[in-house]
Amino acid sequence: MKLSTVIFDMDGLLIDSEPLWQEAGSSVLLQYGITLSEAEYHSTTGLRTPEWLDHWFTHFQVDQQHASSASSIVEQSAHDFILEKGIAMPGVQYIMDFFKEQGFRIGLASSSPMHLIKMVIDKLKIGPYLSAVTSAEKLPFGKPHPQVFLDCAELLQVRPTTCIVFEDSFNGLIAAKSARMKCVVVPAPELQHQSRWDAADLKLSSLEQFDQATLLSL
């Protein structure tokens, strides 16, 4: 089936926010005596904050009664950091213009809360490009479950098999493929070498690498 739609993840793909999420999350975990290695942190990239905290609180045997308040602190800190210091990833304006010129419908699907998504959309000035925006915040399951992508496709009134998803996380990659969508991954530079990205339809080092020939290859 002909590809006609593109759905973008947000954090780490459109805006350089993953280090800011890491800063916010690490600060809260430190209050409970937890310090994550880089590998540990990256293993849970793409999860919603409550699930991220549940994972690490369970792993380090922290009382779950603290999870709700800790989640609120992480999300508020991340919001403040991104508002103050978040910058667009290379190629954001280019990739939006590219797909607009191709006549593609464009959506955004993120694990972040909707208030943060709206803030980033405003910050990057990409609102006019987007025909649908979905958040996994209130869904029964977040990524790697595909629902947030399926919901976006439904709002765009397209079949999942006509969609390309751009992601930077492995959990997002799993979600996209589970939704029966093509997936282009743009991993962080320090993760580019990992073989797990072979599950994607295409791996790039930057959004700027995507072009007409690349689109036709999908």
Is 211 annotated as catalytic? no
Catalytic residue list contains 11: yes
The residues with which 183 forms a beta bridge, in sequence order, are 165
Secondary structure (DSSP) of 36-104: --HHHHHHTTTS-HHHHHHHHHHHTT--GGGHHHHHHHHHHHHHHHHHHH--BPTTHHHHHHHHHHTT-
* Of 9, 16, 122, 211, catalytic: 9
The arrangement of strands across the sheet holding 182-185 comes to 132-135, 105-110, 5-8, 163-167, 182-185, 202-203
CB 142 within 8 A of CB 180: no
- Catalytic residue positions, numbered: 9, 11
